[in-house]
Amino acid sequence: QHQRIHTGMKPFICTECNKSFTHKSSLTIHQRIHTGIKPFICTECDKSFSHKTSLTEHQRIHTGMKPFICTECNKSFIRKKYLTEHQRTHTGMKPFVCTECNKSFSRKGHLTEHQRIHTGVKPYFCNECNKSFSHKTSLTEHQRIHTGMKPFICTECNKSFSQKVNLTIHQGIHTGVKPFICTKCNKSFSQKVNLTIHQGIHTGVKPFICTECNKSFSQKTGLTIHQRIHTGMKPFICSECNKNFNRKEHLTRHQRIHTGMKPFSCSECNKSFSQKISLTKHQSKAFCKIQKGIKPFICTECNKSFSHKTGLTQHQRIHTGMKPFICSECNISFIQKVNLTKHQRIHAGVKPFRCSECGKTFTKKGHLARHHRVHTGVKPFTCTECGKTFIDKETLTMHQRSH
């Protein structure tokens, strides 16, 4: 038998596939591939194996035995193969090289997965929608879209996620950990992608260019959103009133009109707001009150002062006559964007403010507030001449003319 090593003689031939072996025992083991015979059975779980060595390795799952120990870090493994792969993390050895791009890998399986980039092979298919994937893990993650399964749960707030990476990102909210630091300004980020985006501020690189107007963007998503201006595409539709938007965040913000949700709360007075910008403005005003009415932004025309710069900018349009917000339907222009938004509801027929008493709807929140007084009987506007009270200021003004 030993001399066959030198002569290369393999007298034992498989009748199924003509593969030859130097030892009869090797042929016997090989033939189990064709017969499906698995004579070695685990006494713990009844799983069967064609090789005794495979049973021995499997039994270590039950015993917890890990006989192969790394001499560098003392980590132990069930199989010698796993130890060999692990040791490459210490040596830096990457013996598996891609013939297309010369990229090297520490494991053969990683090379096989990588080569699918070049070949375009996607062997893993979703049985729900037939979408194909190059990695099995990608298919597993995708299938959770259909099943709704979210196995990764935050131990702090019980929020669940379909992918582990999303849980890891979320946990940064609780821990405050921001491991990705900008080398230019030391600003830190919880996600690497956010650091990459931020670094564009320093480099000025904007590789994504609009083919319509040549405007450039640092992110592909920015270009995609911008292109909707040219195409008129508004893919995000409100399920309540069918109004559509070109950005998801605009839809989210709009939906709060229907739900009444106000997620942004002031830590000083607990007042809540539907938009973050409203909270920011409120806090600016509140801060100014604390600072004894300091209003650092002063109009050079009339010396009127403001607590925040946006207030001054809007005010200055009174002097310049500038009305930059123009209605695309009737060309009426407005000083403030909020006034244009309110006006456009006339054309759209949208009345998002609903009376909880009688169901009547209004285009403006102020109109709803005035209407409510019909139900409550509140008349906050009092005539200084005769003491008569009124629901709205306009009616008071008309009355005062009689005096």
Q: What is the DSSP string of 45-105?
A: T--EESSHHHHHHHHHHHH----EE-TTT--EESSHHHHHHHHHHHH----EE-TTT--EE
- Rounded to an integer, the average pLDDT of 373-381 is 89
Phi-psi region of 350 (alpha: psi -120 to 50; beta: other; left: phi over 0): beta
**Do the domain assignments include residue 12?**
yes
Work out the pLDDT band at 288, boundaries 50, 70, 90.
very low
Quote the distance between the C-alpha of residue 386 and its chain's center. 61
**Which CATH number fits the domain that encloses residue 23?**
3.30.160.60
The region of weakest confidence among 158-162, 202-206, 228-232 is: 202-206
Residue 293 is predicted with a pLDDT of 60
The Cα-based distances of 290 to 265, 284, 335 in angstroms read 18, 10, 30
296-329 pLDDT, tens digit each? 889 999 999 887 788 888 899 999 989 988 888 8
Q: Identify the H or E element spanning 145.
A: helix 136-147
**Do the domain assignments include residue 119?**
no
Structure tokens at 36: 């499906």
Rounded Cα distance between 399 and 385, Å, is: 10
**Do the domain assignments include residue 72?**
no
Least Cα distance to 307 among 336, 281, 339 occurs for: 281
**Do the domain assignments include residue 36?**
yes
Q: How many domains does the chain have?
A: 3
Residue span of the structural domain in which 380 resides: 353-400
The region of weakest confidence among 67-71, 249-253, 266-270 is: 266-270
- Rounded to an integer, the average pLDDT of 121-135 is 91
Structure tokens at 308: 């925040």
Residue 253 is predicted with a pLDDT of 87
Instruction: Choose the final residue of a domain: 36, 65, 94.
Output: 65
**Do the domain assignments include residue 1?**
yes
AA identity, residue 29: I
- Rounded to an integer, the average pLDDT of 272-281 is 83
Q: In this structure, are 60 and 133 located in the same domain?
A: no
185-225 pLDDT, tens digit each? 989 888 888 888 888 888 888 888 999 898 888 888 889 88
**Do the domain assignments include residue 223?**
no
Residue 281 has pLDDT above 80, yes or no: no
Average pLDDT, the chain: 87
14-23 pLDDT, tens digit each? 999 999 998 8
Residue 292 is predicted with a pLDDT of 47
Residue 263 is predicted with a pLDDT of 87
**Do the domain assignments include residue 261?**
no
Q: What is the DSSP string of 231-254?
A: H----EE-TTT--EESSHHHHHHH
Cα radius of gyration (the chain) = 36
Residues 6+ apart with CB under 8 A from 167: 152, 153, 154, 161
Exposure of 43 in the CB half-sphere (CA atoms within 13 A): 2
**Do the domain assignments include residue 77?**
no
- Rounded to an integer, the average pLDDT of 233-251 is 88
Least Cα distance to 341 among 354, 355, 328 occurs for: 328
- Rounded to an integer, the average pLDDT of 74-95 is 92
392-403 pLDDT, tens digit each? 888 889 888 888
Rounded Cα distance between 314 and 297, Å, is: 12
Residue 43 has pLDDT above 70, yes or no: yes
Least Cα distance to 191 among 206, 180, 203, 182 occurs for: 180
The region of weakest confidence among 120-124, 194-198, 383-387 is: 194-198
Instruction: Choose the final residue of a domain: 47, 65, 83.
Output: 65
Centre a 10 Å sphere on the Cβ of residue 59 and count the other Cβ atoms it contains. Answer: 17
Residue 287 has pLDDT above 70, yes or no: no
Instruction: Choose the final residue of a domain: 178, 205, 232.
Output: 205
Percent of all residues in the chain with a pLDDT value above 90, rounded to a whole number: 33
